[in-house]
């Protein structure tokens, strides 16, 4: 009974956090997907979900190898979520098609260390992966590889994906990355932004270990 109650609570939270992504303008229509780890399995938003229609009962429980039961199919990007759970300690994963993340990803460009808050994703930049077809194992493997060293990455000509210690944290990271990509786009309109040096990054990470910025997973 306790396990069922925990699963129901996670289903409800996942649906609510999915709606938060829509409210923040990070996903529109049926783009993007959200998942969380539950035991050896994961809960993931269903195929075709939108912020207007998603419900806790529609969330799909499935194995990391692709097995599920029920009428609703999991998101077509389930392989990407599963690969990240297999290769990292993530408790939740968020994938969005937010405007500025998509714009930068379509340039095939990493988000460089132009601002110290880029460091909250675990390094001095946020990498952009090579383009692969949506739903493919190649895309899944590429994203999982990038997220072994970072909390987020851009997906070439696609969007972004991040991993968090829980659902709320993952959604917050997705929102922060969109803000950073927007600010980078604004900064480049004035010329080439200053990029923090290795010494400045080291100082940031030394300080970050003492406060909440340093709570990496």
**pLDDT tens for each residue of 56-94:** 999 999 999 999 988 899 999 999 999 999 999 999 999
Whether residue 77 lies in the annotated active site:
yes
How confident is the model over 207-213, as a mean pLDDT?
79
pLDDT tens column, 29-38: 999 999 999 9
Domain that holds residue 180: 2-214
Q: Residue 122 to residues 126, 131, 163, 204, 215: CA-CA distances in angstroms?
A: 8, 22, 11, 11, 10
- Whether the per-residue pLDDT at 195 is higher than 80: the answer is yes
212 pLDDT exceeds 70? no
Q: What is the CATH number of the domain that holds 127?
A: 3.40.225.10
Q: How many domains does the chain divide into?
A: 1
> Using CA atoms, how far apart are residues 77 and 124, in angstroms rounded to an integer?
27
Burial per residue of 36-50, b for 16 or more beta-carbon CB atoms within 10 angstroms, e otherwise: bbbeebbbbbbbebb
Q: Which DSSP letter does residue 92 get?
A: E
Q: Give 210's contacts (C-beta < 8 A, 6+ positions apart).
A: none
The reported pTM is 0.94
The pLDDT of residue 211 is 80
Among 16, 71, 77, 192, the active-site one is 77
Instruction: Lowest mean pLDDT of 1-5, 8-12, 112-116, name the range.
Output: 1-5
- pLDDT for residue 2 is more than 60: no
């Amino acid at each position: 009974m306790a396990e069922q109650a925990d699963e129901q609570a996670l289903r409800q939270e996942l649906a609510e956090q999915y709606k938060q992504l829509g409210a923040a303008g990070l996903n529109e229509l049926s783009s993007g997907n959200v998942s969380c780890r539950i035991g050896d399995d994961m809960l993931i938003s269903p195929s075709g979900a939108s912020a207007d229609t998603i419900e806790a009962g529609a969330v799909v429980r499935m194995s990391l190898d692709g097995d599920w039961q029920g009428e609703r199919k999991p998101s077509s990007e389930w392989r990407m979520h599963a690969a990240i759970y297999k290769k990292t300690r993530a408790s939740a994963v968020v994938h969005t098609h937010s405007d500025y993340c998509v714009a930068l990803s379509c340039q095939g460009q990493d988000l460089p260390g132009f601002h110290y808050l880029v460091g909250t994703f675990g390094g001095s930049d946020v990498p952009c992966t090579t383009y692969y077809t949506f739903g493919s194992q190649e895309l899944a493997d590429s994203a999982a590889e990038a997220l072994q060293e970072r909390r987020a990455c851009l997906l070439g000509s696609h969007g972004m994906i991040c991993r968090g210690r829980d659902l709320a944290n993952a959604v917050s990271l997705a929102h922060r990355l969109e803000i950073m990509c927007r600010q980078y786009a604004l900064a480049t309109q004035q010329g080439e932004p200053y990029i923090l040096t290795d010494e400045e990054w080291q100082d940031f990470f030394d300080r970050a270990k003492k406060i909440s910025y340093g709570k990496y997973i």
